[in-house]
């Protein structure tokens, strides 16, 4: 099953993210540049495969990190070459043959070859991706480029890297209800979402019961003079469980008959810190308003155990052996420079021993006040230690 997502792929709920690459070992453009920044260990393993001529079109490289997996899919050989439908098809064919072997049940693909000069994505590439991915019994998110030009400016690269490489927590119903009631107390009116040319309408929401009260939690949605819409706690619990489980939630899939109230429930749930509105579609040209649940970080602890697997294009029945990433030094978190002894500025020169009485003093020529001495190169005091193994710190921008 394919769901089109008009949103940043790096906040996807999928465990596996697809990275379109070349086979010469560089990641300098488009998505691959971000993958290199977010997964530096993955890049080193990929680079080793390319430099030893073990990676070609039709192969896949699966990098299994502690919290995210990256599937490198070659779309061209040289980084200056053009992306071709044949190269994309070779990678898709291989993925369709091996996804079950590696227990891949949820994956995010970018729109491979989108904006590539000389390619008609809707006529050439989209049919290929749908032909290979739609029949698979797994969930496939196909991420389309953002239509808003300001989307790229609001990405916080450091926050994205931290989110991708950290464990995630959970928001239970009690925490969900506590935050929602606080937000609704500060919100006078909301606007319903718009789809299929329908006009947006204003409505009010009342949160009743729950936590401190003895009564059960419920929502009452007031739309003009119409009869209030009552949402009991059991339905709210089912809805929250579905949103968390789905990651990307379409209103037509809301449980407990709540799909008919999706235009009101989307802006209500979007008040939460972990939920935001997003455009989704089951067909590429039929986007609908939906919800994106972004799991919160559990802690800052990170597990460094990773593996990288080369999936060759040969038809082997046995799963391929795993190739470990090249040995690298641990990132230097704190560099201590050895102290360099310098002459004390306040030390006094040694006193001269006086010659014995009657001794003739040797004549001493005066030191000239200005002397042209050759320049002596001095080691720079601000030189930095070698950058081996040190992760790149990118300049963050605030996230959307």
CATH number at 53 reads 3.40.220.10
- 199/109 same-domain check: no
Q: Which of 13, 25, 1 is nearest to 295 (CA)?
A: 13
Last residue of a domain, one of 271, 293, 315: 293
Strand residues in 119-264 grouped as ranges (E): 139-143, 190-191, 202-208, 218-222, 229-232, 248-249
For residue 399, being part of any structural domain is answered with no
The pLDDT of residue 308 is 74
The pLDDT of residue 370 is 38
For residue 284, being part of any structural domain is answered with yes
- 87/230 same-domain check: no
The pLDDT of residue 194 is 81
Collect the ranges in the chain with pLDDT lower than 50: 149-150, 300-304, 315-400
The pLDDT of residue 161 is 93
- 46/128 same-domain check: yes
For residue 356, being part of any structural domain is answered with no
| Number of domains forming the structure of the chain | 2
The pLDDT of residue 195 is 73
Q: How many residues does the chain have?
A: 400
Q: Which of 400, 135, 101 is nearest to 279 (CA)?
A: 400
- 152/178 same-domain check: no
Structural domain boundaries enclosing 242 = 173-293
The pLDDT of residue 305 is 52
Count of alpha carbons within 13 angstroms of residue 382, beta-carbon side: 0
* SS3 assignment, position 192: coil
CA–CA dist 231, 225 (Å, integer) = 18
- 230/257 same-domain check: yes
- The pLDDT tens digits of the residues spanning 34-79 come to 999 999 999 999 999 999 999 999 999 999 998 999 999 999 999 9
- 152/181 same-domain check: no
- 268/159 same-domain check: no
Helix (H) or strand (E) holding 96, with range, is: helix 85-98
For residue 214, being part of any structural domain is answered with yes
Q: Is 214 exposed, middle or buried (0-12, 13-18, 19+ CB in 10 A)?
A: exposed
CA–CA dist 397, 394 (Å, integer) = 9
CA–CA dist 331, 308 (Å, integer) = 19
């Amino acid at each position: 099953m394919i769901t089109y997502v008009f949103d940043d792929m790096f906040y996807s709920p999928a465990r596996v993210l697809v990275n379109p690459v070349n086979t010469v070992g560089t990641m300098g453009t488009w998505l691959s540049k971000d993958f290199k920044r977010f997964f530096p260990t993955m890049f080193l393993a990929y680079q080793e495969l390319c430099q030893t001529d073990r990676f070609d079109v039709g192969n896949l490289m699966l990098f299994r990190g502690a919290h995210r997996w990256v599937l490198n899919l070659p779309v061209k050989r040289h980084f200056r070459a053009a992306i071709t439908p044949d190269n994309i098809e070779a990678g898709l064919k291989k993925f369709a043959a091996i996804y079950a072997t590696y227990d891949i049940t949820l994956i995010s693909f970018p729109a491979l070859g989108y904006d590539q000069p000389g390619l008609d994505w809707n006529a050439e590439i989209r049919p290929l991706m749908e032909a290979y991915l739609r029949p698979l019994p797994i969930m496939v998110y196909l991420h389309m480029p953002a239509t808003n030009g300001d989307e790229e400016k609001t990405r916080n690269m450091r926050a994205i890297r931290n989110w991708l490489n950290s464990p995630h927590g959970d928001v239970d119903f009690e925490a969900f209800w506590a935050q929602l009631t606080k937000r609704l107390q500060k919100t006078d009116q909301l606007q319903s979402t718009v789809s299929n040319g329908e006009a947006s309408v204003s409505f009010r929401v009342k949160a009743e019961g729950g936590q401190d009260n003895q009564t059960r939690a419920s929502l009452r949605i007031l739309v003009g003079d119409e009869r209030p819409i009552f949402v009991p706690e059991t339905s709210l619990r089912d809805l929250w469980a579905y949103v968390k489980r789905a990651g990307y939630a379409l209103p037509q899939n809301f449980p407990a008959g709540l799909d008919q109230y999706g235009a009101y429930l989307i802006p209500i749930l979007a008040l939460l810190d972990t939920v935001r509105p997003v455009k989704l579609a089951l067909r590429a040209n039929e986007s609908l308003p939906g919800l994106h649940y972004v799991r919160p970080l559990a802690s800052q602890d990170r597990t460094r155990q990773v593996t990288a697997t080369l999936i060759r294009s040969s038809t082997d029945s046995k799963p391929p052996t795993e190739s470990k990433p090249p040995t690298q030094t641990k990132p230097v978190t704190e560099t201590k420079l050895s102290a360099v002894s310098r002459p004390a500025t306040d030390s006094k020169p040694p006193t001269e021993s006086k010659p014995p009485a009657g001794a003739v003093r040797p004549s001493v020529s005066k030191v000239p006040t200005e002397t042209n001495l050759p320049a002596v190169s001095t080691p720079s005091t601000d030189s930095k230690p070698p950058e081996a193994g040190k992760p790149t710190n990118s300049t963050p921008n605030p996230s959307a």
